[in-house]
Amino acid sequence: MRWKGGRSGGGVEDRRGMSGGAIAAGGGGIAIIVAIAAYFLGIDPNVASGIANQITGGGAQQREGTFGTPGDEEGLFVDKIGANINDVWTATYGDSYSPPAAVVIYEGGTGTACGQGQAAMGPFYCPGDRKVYLDLSFWRELDNLGAGNTEAARAYVLAHEFGHHMQVLNGRSQQVQQAQRSLGQEDGNRYSVALELQADCYAGVWAVNAPKVSDNQVAFEAGDLEAGLRAANAIGDDTLQKRSSGRVVPEAFTHGSSAQRMEWLQRGFQTGDPAVCDGTFAGL
Ligand SMILES: [Zn+2]
């Protein structure tokens, strides 16, 4: 993947090295995988904030970190990819788009408006403070999940979380929450799946448009779409369920099957048109 020539300024808030890990991240591989099955690329915001609130009893306060472009390569990657994602959506939507309040890089645990964030939750977006949360140790987890710790996989994860930010701006997130209030668990889950697949689709739309807003300095190169698809395949609900319990329960899907996640990432990439991503809600 090409990214080093991209512009900086992706809105990183660096909380690494700060205390705030009130809840230690679980150490066991199985515990982490189960947590990731529930949370990974998180986010039905309702569920996420609900569970987090059970843990902490409400939004957790956290001292702000350092805003600016990190000096290390991993932090720089997040900053430059974030800047490029913002540029793509600004080019598409103009003033209707505004960047997330921050992309918070943290270690172990940190306070969010949605409750205590933990590394074991995987990357997530909190609508309450409009920030993306990311513990960079998750990149190593990508390998454990069979997703492949590639730059393209990392970029896909980031763009997916920015997709959830888009859904707050365009009202999809609120529509889903509204619909889920009057639905049972199974039907509610279908809305979560539609929301998650739409975020995957947005990630594909971002990836194919990245070079256009960066003078070709940020771009998927040969093999990168495949790497992204491999990651999408590895984090499908059916694949994660098989890993954690050995069986597949489609009614409990919240993010979509591996096949669906790959399909929508690819569809976004092939069309480059975010309107196409509304298709995940067809039939609901
Ligand atoms: Zn998600």
pLDDT by residue (tens digit) across 59-102?
A: 555 678 999 999 999 999 999 999 999 999 999 999 999 999 99
- Pairs from 134-138 (Cβ < 8 Å, separation ≥ 24): 134/78, 134/103, 134/104, 134/105, 134/106, 134/158, 134/161, 135/25, 135/105, 135/106, 135/107, 135/108, 136/16, 136/74, 136/75, 136/78, 136/105, 136/107, 137/107
> What is the C-alpha separation between 6 and 98, in angstroms, rounded?
19
Q: How far is the CA of 152 from the centre of ligand 1 (A)?
A: 17
Distance from the alpha carbon of residue 114 to the mean position of ligand 1, in angstroms = 15
Confidence label for 45 from pLDDT (cuts 50, 70 and 90): very low
How far, in Å, is the centroid of ligand 1 from the Cα of 165?
10
Q: How far apart are CA 275 and CA 223, in angstroms?
A: 26
According to DSSP, the β-strands at 109-112 and 115-118 are antiparallel
65 CA distance to ligand 1 centroid (A)?
24
Cα 177 to ligand 1 centre (Å): 14
- pLDDT at 17 > cutoff 50: yes
Interval between CA 53 and ligand 1 midpoint (Å): 19
Give the per-residue pLDDT at 42.
45
Residues 117, 124: contact at Cβ < 8 Å? yes
pLDDT of residue 82: 98
In the reported structure, the alpha carbon of residue 214 is separated from the centroid of ligand 1 by a whole-number distance in angstroms of: 26
**Model confidence at 57: pLDDT above 70:** no
Distance 175 CA to ligand 1 centre (A): 16
Measure the CA–CA gap between 4 and 6, rounded to whole angstroms: 5
Phi, psi of 67 (to 5 degrees): -90, 140
Residue predicted with more confidence, 76 or 44:
76
Cα-to-centroid distance, 166 and ligand 1 (Å):
12
* Cα 124 to averaged position of ligand 1 atoms, centre (Å): 7
**Residue 132 amino acid letter:** V
Q: How far, rounded to the nearest angstrom, does the alpha carbon of residue 258 sit from its chain's CA centroid?
A: 16
Q: Is 221 helix (H, G, I), strand (E, B) or coil?
A: coil
CA–centroid distance, 123 to ligand 1, in Å, is 9
Ligand 1 centre to CA of 42 (Å) is 4
- 30, pLDDT greater than 80: no
177-215 pLDDT, tens per residue?
999 999 999 999 999 999 999 999 999 999 999 999 999
Closest by CA position to 131, among listed 104, 152, 157, 153: 104
User: Please, is 203 exposed, middle or buried when counting C-beta atoms within 10 Å of its C-beta (0-12, 13-18, 19+)?
Assistant: buried
- Of the candidates 194, 197, 158, 161, the residue with the CA atom closest to the CA atom of residue 179: 194
Residue 12 near residue 105 (C-beta atoms within 8 A): yes
Q: Would you state the pLDDT for residue 25?
A: 38
| Six-digit token string for 133 | 């949360």
Contact between 281 and 192 (Cβ < 8 Å): no
Answer yes or no: are the C-beta atoms of 40 and 255 closer than 8 Å: yes
Distance 3 CA to ligand 1 centre (A): 23
* Distance from Cα 167 to the centre of ligand 1, integer Å: 11
What is the reported pLDDT for 33? 42
C-alpha–C-alpha distance, residues 177 and 77, integer Å: 32
Q: Are 243 and 33 in contact (CB under 8 A)?
A: yes
Calculate how far, in angstroms, residue 63's C-alpha sits from the geometric centre of ligand 1. 26
- In this prediction, residue 118 carries a pLDDT of 87
Q: Terminal CA-to-CA distance of the chain, rounded, Å?
A: 36
The C-alpha atoms of residue 117 and residue 182 are separated, in whole angstroms, by 28
- Contacts by residues 219-223 (CB-CB < 8 Å, ≥ 24 positions apart): 219/1, 219/2, 220/1, 220/152, 220/155, 220/269, 221/1, 221/2, 223/152
Rounded CA separation 109/92 (Å):
34
Res. 44: pLDDT tops 50: no
**pLDDT above 70 for 26:** no
CA gap 102, 117 in Å, rounded: 15
Between the CA of 131 and the centroid of ligand 1 the distance, in Å, is 13
pLDDT at 147 over 90: yes
pLDDT band at 20 (very low <50, low <70, confident <90, very high): low
- pLDDT, averaged across the chain: 87
What spacing in Å lies between the alpha carbon of 108 and ligand 1's midpoint?
Answer: 20
Instruction: Encode pLDDT of 117-146 as tens digits.
Output: 888 888 999 999 999 999 999 999 999 999
